[in-house]
């Protein structure tokens, strides 16, 4: 009887571990040519738009296993691109990003919540200029399907916007905002295509 009980316990744990392994969230590779982090900020009456051309990250995502899902992004500040070299140089200076001292900014999720209608609220830590801040990034799952141009690959898409106060994150000291020159609120558009083997 004892042998049967021991065998049953062993089988139970083997089965439980197998279930946990099979339920692990899928790892996706960011398709960087078809992904980006765009931003928009007011300049007097107009809106200036830009992007970051050098970034990397890790995506683990399964809508059925959000506890094991994860988003991590690292963005190189010196890859900022607003289509005006003089302006980009100013943004890299101590007046704004101070890229010489703080070359990267990162976002790492800590919890992902299904908000319904394919919307996922990704709560995490946004680190910029050496300080971490709580941030919720809302991402809408645009879809998952076999990639139409890459045999053997699945592709998934995510899109989301969030607005942050750059002054609260010390991107600038407020002098240009007080002048009525540069706005303090920055709208960020995250758009991702991610790839995984079928």
- CA angle, corner 129, sides to 52 and 47, nearest 5? 45
Query: Going residue by residue through the chain (198 aa), what tens digit of pLDDT does each one get?
Result: 444 454 444 444 444 444 444 468 999 999 999 999 999 999 999 999 999 999 999 999 999 999 999 999 999 999 999 999 999 999 999 999 999 999 999 999 999 999 999 999 999 999 999 999 999 999 999 999 999 999 999 999 999 999 999 999 999 999 999 999 999 999 999 999 999 999
Nearest to 171 by CA among 76, 99, 85, 84: 99
The alpha carbon of residue 5 and the mean position of all alpha carbons in its chain are separated, in whole angstroms, by 48
Burial class (CB in 10 A: 0-12, 13-18, 19+), 154: middle
Give Cα separations from 21 to 4, 17, 24 (angstroms).
26, 6, 5
What is the number of other CB atoms lying within 10 angstroms of the CB of residue 15? 10
- pTM strictly above 0.75: yes
CB 112 within 8 A of CB 123: yes
Q: E strand or H helix at 169, and its extent?
A: none
d(CA 157, CA 179): 40
Strands (E), 129-181: 131-146, 153-165
Task: Specify which residues 49 forms β-bridges with.
Answer: 40
Q: What is the DSSP code string of 37-50?
A: EEEEEEETTEEEEE
Give Cα separations from 110 to 69, 126, 127, 148, 195 (angstroms).
9, 11, 13, 33, 22
């Amino acid at each position: 009887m004892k042998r049967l009980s021991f065998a049953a316990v062993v089988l139970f744990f083997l089965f439980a571990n197998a279930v946990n392994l099979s339920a692990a969230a899928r790892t996706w590779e960011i398709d960087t040519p078809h992904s980006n982090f765009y931003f928009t900020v007011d300049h007097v009456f107009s809106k200036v738009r830009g992007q970051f051309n050098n970034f990397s990250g890790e995506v683990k995502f399964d809508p059925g296993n959000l506890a094991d899902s994860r988003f991590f992004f690292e963005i190189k500040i010196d890859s900022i691109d607003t289509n005006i070299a003089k302006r980009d140089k100013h943004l890299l200076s101590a007046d704004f990003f101070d890229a010489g001292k703080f070359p990267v900014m990162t976002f790492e999720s800590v919890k992902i919540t299904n908000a319904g209608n394919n919307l996922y609220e990704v709560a995490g830590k946004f680190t910029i200029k050496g300080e971490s801040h709580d941030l919720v990034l809302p991402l809408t799952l645009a879809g998952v399907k076999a990639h139409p141009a890459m045999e053997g690959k699945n592709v998934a898409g995510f899109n989301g916007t969030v607005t942050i106060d750059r002054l609260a994150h010390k991107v600038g000291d407020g002098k240009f905002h007080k002048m009525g020159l540069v706005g303090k609120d920055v709208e960020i558009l995250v758009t991702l295509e991610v790839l995984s083997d079928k």
